[in-house]
Chains A and B, each alone.
Chain A
Amino acid sequence: MSHTEDVPFGMPYRRETRYDPPAGLLQLQEQPLRRIRYYPDGVEGWLATGHALSRRILADPRFVTGERFVHSPTELPHVFVSISEQVPPGFFLFFDPPEHTRLRRKVTGVFTVKRMKELEPRVAAIVDERIAALKAAGPGADLVREFALPVPALVICEMLGVPYADRDAFQRNSADMLDLARSVEDRNKSMAELFGYLMQLVPAKRADPGDDLLSVLAADPELHDVETAGVGLILLVAGHETTANMLALGTFALLEHPGQLARLHDDPALWPAAVEELLRYLTVAHNGVMRIVKEDAEIDGRHFRAGEHVTVALQAANRDPGKYERPGDLDVERDAQGHMAFGHGLHQCVGQQLARVEMRIGFAKLFEAVPDLRLAVPPEEIPMRSDMAVYGVHTLPVEW
């Protein structure tokens, strides 16, 4: 056993630059799996920063999410800790098999590669509408408000059957539940409000069904309404926060890497690979994901004991020099496959094929329709989402 004083406190999470994980975190990669002390009480647990080890842990059924997370790798409690305190029914990210499997399979049929291909014309139409709205707002418009946030919000609202008119309330609540600077109690109050909203919507969908996922789930005799509301909660929050931030932060990053953007202008066939590279390079789930050791386990000669907390730093794994050459470079022509931006293992992002379609179409159409897009303010004035569970920009004023 190591002495407590040898074990560093917490996972470095304060960034020095806009796009890179903290230097202190990347330095820890010399030991791709190490012990750290967790907040608030200094209890020891694990931190994985290497790509291969992170994959092994997330694919291993002995590392679970269905237990209570009480310690945090960061001073501001991790979102796994806050949600764990009050896991809504149906919120399958925090369930283990067989419950996880039962709930996840209720929705995976609508997110297949084929279904997403069929959805492309609708996504393209929404993207066109939002580009028109951005242009109509005129130079100085906020790209987050006019484009990056509404595109995925409109798409997920349509898929779920959530009235888009209710977006202000759910966008506020979902932003608040993922705001790490707020107390755990306040975050969970916002989550409960969102859950309450969906609890009202589910019976309404059963009474007056539409051609949408919530109507299908509401009519499913194997699902209780509380479970349907929880499933809807995951999809609604995850379905717009993450992609919205990728769209806005990705646009910012490309504007600051004009050589990369020029390659994409010359050869739009590069967009699918560029989206994978942006996912890798930006890793907006920038505080990683957590697991709890369900039973004693050994990996690479290291002994994990039941009950220990494990943080898998996706943001570091995606910068592992053992996996990617010059990992700190944004290179839209590299093969970024195998990145961990969507996680790994049985909880890997259920909406990832939707996210890919939204980003491929969203970026390609934006830069095609507004080829001279540029920032309207100096880059250092862009407010970064440092204290949010999902990294990105709060606003992105642009002109053309």
Chain B
Amino acid sequence: MRIAVDREACTSAGMCALTDPARFDQDEDDGRVVLLEAEARDGDPDATAAAELCPSGAVTLHW
């Protein structure tokens, strides 16, 4: 599956970087999501949790 991030929707809560630090980081200036790795195996638990826990719907998964 493929991960997409929407930096306009991002509210910088940091849940993605906390949950899946291998794929997500945060901008140093305003904490917005920075996608490090857009590919994940289908059903990858960390990427799935990162998308589920994002409070603003900024992290989405696509097949």
Contact = CB atoms under 8 A, between A and B. Distances in A.
Contacts of B49: 337
A113 B26 contact: yes
Interface string A324-341: 000000000000011000
A59 B13 contact: no
A81 B11 CA distance: 24
Contacts of A337: 19, 49, 53
Contact of B14 (A104, A111, A345): A111
A348 B11 contact: yes
A109 B17 CA distance: 13
A352 B14 contact: yes
Contacts, number: 67
A3 interface: no
Interface of B is mostly: loop
Interface string A94-118: 0000000000111011011110000
Contacts of B26: 112-114
How many chain A residues sit at the interface, stated as a range, is 20 to 34
B28 interface: yes
A151 interface: no
B1 interface: no
B29 A109 contact: yes
A346 interface: yes
Which range contains the number of B residues in contact with the other chain?
20 to 34
B50 to A, nearest CB: 11
Given A109-B31, A111-B31, A112-B26, A59 B56 contact: yes
Contacts of B56: 59, 345-346, 348
Contacts of A338: 52-53
A51 B11 CA distance: 21
A113 B17 contact: yes
A35 interface: no
Interface in A319-369: 337-338, 342-350, 352-353, 356
Contacts of A350: 12-13
A112 B17 contact: yes
Given A113-B21, A114-B17, A114-B25, A108 B53 contact: no
Given A59-B55, A338-B52, A108 B32 contact: yes
A319 B55 CA distance: 19
A345 B17 CA distance: 17
B55 A108 contact: no
Interface in B27-63: 27-32, 49, 52-53, 55-57
A348 B11 CA distance: 8
9 contacts: A105-B12, A105-B32, A108-B12, A108-B31, A108-B32, A346-B11, A347-B11, A352-B13, A352-B14
Given A113-B18, A348-B13, 8 more contacts: A59-B55, A104-B12, A105-B32, A106-B30, A108-B11, A108-B31, A111-B31, A338-B52
